[in-house]
């Protein structure tokens, strides 16, 4: 069973407010991904890290999105000024670097963001 921990499970914000969510990857997994799953089940890759370094990120939706994975602290994803269109399930996933070339990504339960 996945041990990726995401908090909070639910987040309700007004438009323009900051929204911050956290992720503790599975122990020993140095690679962390953030995905957005909308109500139509479309997954959108946002960013991923290996240890503390960004490997790849999208255009971070007009710079309103920021993320970090500091050492010895949870990873975080923050939306500076929430918009209604940001309402979605935000999923954190982690994987190791050993083993098969395309190793399994383990997902947390997600943070469901609702922007009113």
Q: Binding string to another protein for residues 30 to 69, with x set by CB under 8 A, is what?
A: ---x-x----xxxx-x--x------xx-------------
Q: CB within 8 A of 95, min separation 6: which ones?
A: 29, 31, 33, 103, 104, 105, 106
Instruction: Please say which residue, 68 or 109, places its beta carbon nearer to another protein.
Output: 109
In eight-state DSSP terms, residue 61 is H
36-41: long-range contacts (C-beta < 8 A, 24 or more apart)? Answer: 36/88, 36/89, 36/90, 36/91, 37/88, 37/89, 37/90, 37/91, 37/110, 38/87, 38/88, 38/89, 39/87, 39/88
Instruction: Please say which residue, 42 or 59, places its beta carbon nearer to another protein.
Output: 42
CB 16 → another protein: shortest distance, Å? 28
User: Between residue 68 and residue 107, which ones bind another protein under the rule CB under 8 A?
Assistant: 91, 93, 100-102, 104-107
CB 82 → another protein: shortest distance, Å? 22
CB 17 → another protein: shortest distance, Å? 25
Backbone angles phi, psi at 60, to 5 degrees: 45, 40
Q: What residues line the site for another protein (CB under 8 A)?
A: 2, 4, 6, 33, 35, 40-43, 45, 48, 55-56, 91, 93, 100-102, 104-110
């Amino acid at each position: 069973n996945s041990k990726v921990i995401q908090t909070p499970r639910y987040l309700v914000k007004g438009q323009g407010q900051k929204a911050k969510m956290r992720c503790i990857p599975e122990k020993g997994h140095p690679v962390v991904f953030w995905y957005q799953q909308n109500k139509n089940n479309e997954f959108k890759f946002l960013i991923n890290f290996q240890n503390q370094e960004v490997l790849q990120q999208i255009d971070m939706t007009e710079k309103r999105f920021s993320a970090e994975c500091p050492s010895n602290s949870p990873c975080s994803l923050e939306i500076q000024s929430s918009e209604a269109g940001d309402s979605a399930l935000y999923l954190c996933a982690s994987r190791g670097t050993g083993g098969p070339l395309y190793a399994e990504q383990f997902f947390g339960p997600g943070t469901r963001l609702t922007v009113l």
